[in-house]
């Protein structure tokens, strides 16, 4: 039953339980397993953890960094404060994420663009060697992802990420010196290794800065670079393709130029890359409190630099983690193939290298449009699974057309339409990533689950290019058939995951009733700042959300609401 005068989205339970203030210490050991931090079977999670006590002299390992600036009393955030702080966060966070991810995807995609300008010929690649090179970056990312998850918990992102950007920019510039298969393999491995943490770090940034309803738009904005790279990158390679400097090939000039720009951006990132809301330099102390209270309803916490093995174990025992990983494997396999072999497939329609670059520009624009459309639909339905299913349909149709259509000149219009339909896949990936991000809590668990999810993406990125062999061109029948099967499997697993999340919500309702809380809670984290009428916060006496910063996992917190 709602308390009179309470803001929408916060309901006072029938009975209250005491909540203890918690604090974290920077002197806590790297990895801690406490007797109070029990390993739980996700299927037998208790209604709530026992509250732990702490003092400044004896810090607890349960708390989130947010507890250093918020008090036991939940601070009410007015709609005006909410919008003002959100605008300030966007101005400082989003441009940095957008620019860095553009450069990362550009650096990753440059190999595919260079393939139509002679890199295969000039480096004497034979047989499956180009496919192997295309898979090397995701191989490195897959191998290093567990280590990346640990680093993301332990290190400050404002220092860790700029170092990685400088390293991968330098590696790309050095790749221009590669003259053979071995040189390209080594370069691509290091390039992928340094890029390993980027996507996971940006997902964590969204979780610590934004309400769950806001995360989808922000993820879509930086992930839209998948499309912008096809637009801008194609124009860049079109221009570099006309440069002839004797022994220096056009793709080598592109490697050097983009590598230098990336490294310079990494250096600038030491100044501009944002920290967490608690440690942010661009927010005042009062704005930090508002930024933290804004996301209390997420029930996901902000950040803690304590790596909890119990949360890693829960991640591995949690069926959802394997669902996210499976979804990304099934979707990223055809996506990885399109990324590496897309330009060659288009060239196989009968176009030269320059025409191929120009035809990729509309494809990139359609990718951006698909992502914007998916976000717009998500604001209307506030769910993720229908979006995944809707945008998988054109992908399957496009692949079926490519599989059944010939490659004669009269077939070129149909082939281009089929290829452009595949642009819908760009809306599926951020939707899947966002779906996972809003359904996970506990800082170590968030990092671990994101790592597993992205490992699925990298596994698909490894397998996808290997399904397409240059000798199979221009039809690539076996690879295209494999992509159709993967898309069908992704649709099936999406339905299963949705049913499981529905079950978990019903289980949490029963757990809340068992401890005297309301069965139904309004998910305040899924309301936008633009539609905020009653502000963000809880009236005095309401206990809902008081444990949001105790670094509980989604399975431990009976107030957590899963997004279907």
308: region left, alpha or beta (phi > 0 left; psi from -120 to 50 alpha):
beta
Q: Tokens in use for 321? A: 């983690």
pLDDT at residue 446 greater than cutoff 50? yes
CA distance 313 to 454: 18
Q: What is the pLDDT of residue 493?
A: 98
How many other CB atoms sit within 10 Å of the CB of residue 495? 12
Q: What share of the chain is helix, strand, coil (3-state, %, to 5)?
A: 65, 0, 30
Is the pLDDT at 68 greater than 80? The verdict is no
Instruction: Identify the CA nearest to 419 among candidates 349, 327, 328, 485.
Output: 349
Beta bridge partners of 303: none
485-492 long-range contacts (CB < 8 A, ≥24 apart) are: 486/330, 486/331, 486/333, 486/334, 486/460, 487/330, 487/331, 487/334, 487/392, 487/395, 487/396, 487/399, 488/396, 489/330, 490/327, 490/330, 490/331, 490/388, 490/392, 490/428, 491/388, 491/389, 491/392
Q: How many CB atoms lie within 10 A of CB 376?
A: 11
Tens-digit pLDDT profile for residues 383-438: 899 999 999 999 999 999 999 998 888 888 898 899 999 999 999 999 999 899 88
Sign of the alpha-carbon torsion through 88, 89, 95, 98 = negative
For residue 55, what are the β-bridge partners? 58
Read off the DSSP letter of residue 197. Answer: T
128 confidence band (pLDDT: 50, 70, 90): confident
DSSP, collapsed to helix, strand or coil, labels residue 31 as strand
Find out whether the peptide bond into 474 is cis, omega within 30 degrees of 0.
Answer: yes
Strands (E), 74-156: none
Residue 55 backbone dihedrals phi, psi, to 5 degrees: -130, 170
Q: In the structure, how many helices (H) and strands (E) does the chain have? A: 19, 2
Going by their DSSP bridges, the two strands 31-32 and 307-308 should be labelled as: parallel
479-497 per-position pLDDT tens digit: 999 999 999 999 999 999 9
Least confident of 252-261, 325-334, 404-413: 404-413
CA 520 to centroid of chain Cα atoms: 29
Query: Quick one: CATH architecture of 79-298+311-503?
Result: Up-down Bundle (1.20)
Considering 72-86, 411-425, 492-506, 519-533, the range whose residues carry the highest mean pLDDT is: 492-506
Phi, psi of 307 (to 5 degrees): -90, 115
Q: What is the mean pLDDT of the chain?
A: 81
The residue count of the chain comes to: 564
Q: What pTM was estimated for this model as a whole?
A: 0.74
Handedness of CA 278, 284, 285, 290 (dihedral sign): negative
């Amino acid at each position: 039953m709602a308390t009179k005068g309470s803001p929408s989205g916060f309901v006072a339970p029938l009975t209250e339980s005491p909540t203890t203030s918690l604090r974290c210490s920077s002197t806590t050991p790297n990895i801690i397993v406490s007797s109070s931090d029990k390993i739980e079977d996700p299927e037998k999670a208790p209604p709530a953890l026992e509250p732990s006590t702490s003092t400044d002299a004896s810090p607890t390992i349960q708390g989130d960094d947010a507890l250093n600036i918020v008090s036991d009393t939940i601070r009410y955030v007015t709609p005006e404060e909410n919008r003002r702080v959100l605008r300030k966060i966007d101005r400082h966070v989003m441009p940095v994420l957008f620019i860095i991810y553009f450069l990362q995807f550009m650096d990753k995609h440059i190999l595919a663009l260079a393939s139509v300008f002679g890199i295969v010929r000039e480096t004497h690649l034979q047989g499956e060697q180009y496919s192997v090179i295309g898979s090397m970056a995701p191989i490195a990312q897959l191998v290093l992802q567990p280590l990346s998850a640990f680093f993301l918990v332990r290190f400050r992102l404002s220092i860790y990420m700029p170092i990685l950007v400088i390293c991968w920019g330098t590696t790309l510039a050095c790749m221009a010196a590669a003259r053979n298969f071995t040189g390209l393999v080594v370069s691509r491995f290091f390039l992928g290794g340094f890029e390993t943490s980027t996507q996971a770090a940006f997902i964590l940034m969204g979780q610590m800065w934004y309400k769950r309803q806001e995360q989808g738009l922000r993820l879509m904005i930086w992930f839209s670079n998948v499309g912008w790279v096809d637009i801008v990158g194609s124009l860049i390679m079109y221009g570099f393709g006309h440069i002839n400097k004797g022994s220096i090939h056009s793709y080598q000039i592109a490697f050097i130029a983009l590598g230098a720009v990336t490294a310079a951006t990494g250096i600038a990132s030491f100044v501009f890359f944002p920290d967490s809301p608690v440690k942010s330099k661009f927010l005042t102390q009062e704005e930090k409190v508002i930024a933290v209270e804004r996301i209390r309803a997420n029930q996901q916490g902000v950040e803690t630099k304590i790596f909890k093995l119990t949360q890693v174990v829960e991640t591995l025992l949690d069926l959802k983690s394997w669902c996210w990983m499976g979804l990304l494997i099934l979707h990223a396999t055809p996506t990885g193939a399109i990324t590496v072999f897309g330009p060659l497939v288009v060239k196989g329609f009968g176009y030269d290298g320059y025409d191929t670059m120009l035809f990729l520009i509309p494809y990139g624009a359609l990718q951006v449009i698909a992502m914007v459309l998916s976000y717009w639909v998500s604001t209307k339905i506030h769910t993720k699974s229908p979006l995944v299913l809707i945008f998988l349909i054109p992908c399957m149709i496009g692949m079926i057309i490519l599989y059944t259509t010939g490659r004669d000149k009269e077939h070129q219009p149909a082939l281009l339409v089929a290829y452009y339909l595949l642009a819908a896949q760009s809306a599926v990936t951020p939707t899947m990533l966002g779906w996972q991000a809003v359904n996970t809590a506990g800082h170590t668990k968030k990092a671990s689950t994101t790592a597993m999810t992205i490992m699925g993406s990298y596994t698909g990125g490894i397998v996808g290019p290997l399904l397409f062999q240059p000798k199979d061109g221009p039809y690539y029948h076996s690879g295209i058939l494999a992509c159709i099967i993967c898309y069908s499997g992704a649709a099936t697993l999406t339905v299963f995951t949705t049913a499981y999340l529905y079950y978990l919500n019903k289980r949490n309702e029963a757990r809340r009733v068992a401890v005297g809380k309301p069965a139904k809670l309004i998910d305040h984290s899924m309301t936008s700042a633009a539609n905020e009428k009653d502000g963000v916060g809880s009236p005095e006496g309401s206990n809902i959300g008081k444990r949001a910063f105790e670094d509980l996992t989604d399975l431990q917190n009976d107030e957590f609401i899963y997004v279907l």
